[in-house]
Structure formats: C-alpha cells, structure tokens
Amino acid sequence: MKYLYIFCFLYISMLFSMLYSIRFIAKGLVSVETNSNPEFSKYEKELISLWILPLGITSIQPRLQKIFKDKN
C-alpha cells in the first residue's frame, strides 16, 4: 500500500510537469507570433494540439518554420 501512494504522487507530479511544459510551449509560440502576453483563450488550441502529440507537431511545425524564417 505504501508503494501505491508513492506511485500516485509520482504520477500526479509527472502529469503536472507535462501540462506545465506544454502550456509553456503553447503560450510562448502565441506570444512570439502576436508580440503580446496572451490569455488562455488565445493559446488553448495550441495547448490541446500539443497534448495530442503527432497532430500537434504537424500543426505547429509550419508556424515554427515561419517564425525562424522571419527572424533570419
């Protein structure tokens, strides 16, 4: 039973870390594109698409390429 609590704690910590990382990436992407500090409603689409990993990468990649192309 002791290991179950440890497993649950580690799982919740991992889930929080993953969600925070995805949120950071989505918010950063929208922030760079709009040059402002976006609200959640502005980057929720990116957050959900990054959660579903293969779809998120295929939808975000062209936008990232455009950002890096504009910077150079």
Instruction: Encode pLDDT of 40-52 as tens digits.
Output: 888 888 888 888 8
- Rounded to whole angstroms, the Cα distance separating 37 from 19 reads 19
Residue-wise DSSP of 1-50? -HHHHHHHHHHHHHHHHHHHHHHHHHHHHHHHHHTS---HHHHHHHHHHH
21 pLDDT band, cuts 50/70/90, is very high
| Domain coverage including residue 36 | 2-71
Domains in the chain: how many in total? 1
60 pLDDT band, cuts 50/70/90, is confident
Model pTM?
0.78
